[in-house]
Chain A
Amino acid sequence: EAQVTQNPRYLITVTGKKLTVTCSQNMNHEYMSWYRQDPGLGLRQIYYSMNVEVTDKGDVPEGYKVSRKEKRNFPLILESPSPNQTSLYFCASSLFGQQETQYFGPGTRLLVL
Chain B
Amino acid sequence: QKEVEQDPGPLSVPEGAIVSLNCTYSNSAFQYFMWYRQYSRKGPELLMYTYSSGNKEDGRFTAQVDKSSKYISLFIRDSQPSDSATYLCAMTPLTNDYKLSFGAGTTVTVRA
Quick one: which of B32, B43, B51, B90 contacts A90, CB cutoff 8 A?
B43
B104 lies within 8 A of A104 (CB): no
Q: Which residue of A has the minimal Cβ distance to B96?
A: A50
A104 touches B98 (CB 8 A): no
* A34 contacts partner chain B, Cβ-Cβ < 8 Å: no
Given contacts A31-B98, A100-B49, whether A42 and B44 have CB atoms under 8 Å apart is no
Q: Is A81 an interface residue (CB 8 A)?
A: no
- Minimum CB–CB distance for A32 against chain B, Å: 10
Is the contact region of chain A dominated by helix, strand, or loop, or is it mixed? Answer: strand
Chain B residues 1 to 17 lying within 8 A of chain A, measured CB to CB, are: 4, 6, 8
Identify the interface centre among B36, B44, B45, B98: most chain A CB within 10 Å of its CB.
B98
Give A contacts to B, CB under 8 Å: 4, 31, 33, 35, 40-45, 48, 50, 56, 58-59, 90, 92, 99-107
Query: What are 20 A-to-B residue pairs whose CB atoms are below 8 Å?
Result: A40-B8, A42-B4, A42-B88, A42-B102, A42-B104, A44-B102, A45-B99, A56-B97, A90-B44, A92-B43, A99-B92, A99-B99, A100-B32, A100-B34, A100-B49, A102-B46, A104-B44, A106-B42, A106-B43, A107-B43
Seed contacts A42-B102, A43-B88, A50-B98; 18 additional CB < 8 Å A-B pairs? A4-B43, A33-B98, A33-B100, A40-B8, A42-B4, A42-B6, A43-B90, A43-B100, A43-B102, A90-B44, A99-B98, A99-B99, A100-B92, A102-B46, A102-B100, A103-B46, A104-B44, A107-B43
**Contact residues of B with A, CB < 8 Å?**
4, 6, 8, 32, 34, 36, 41-46, 49, 51, 88, 90, 92, 97-100, 102-105
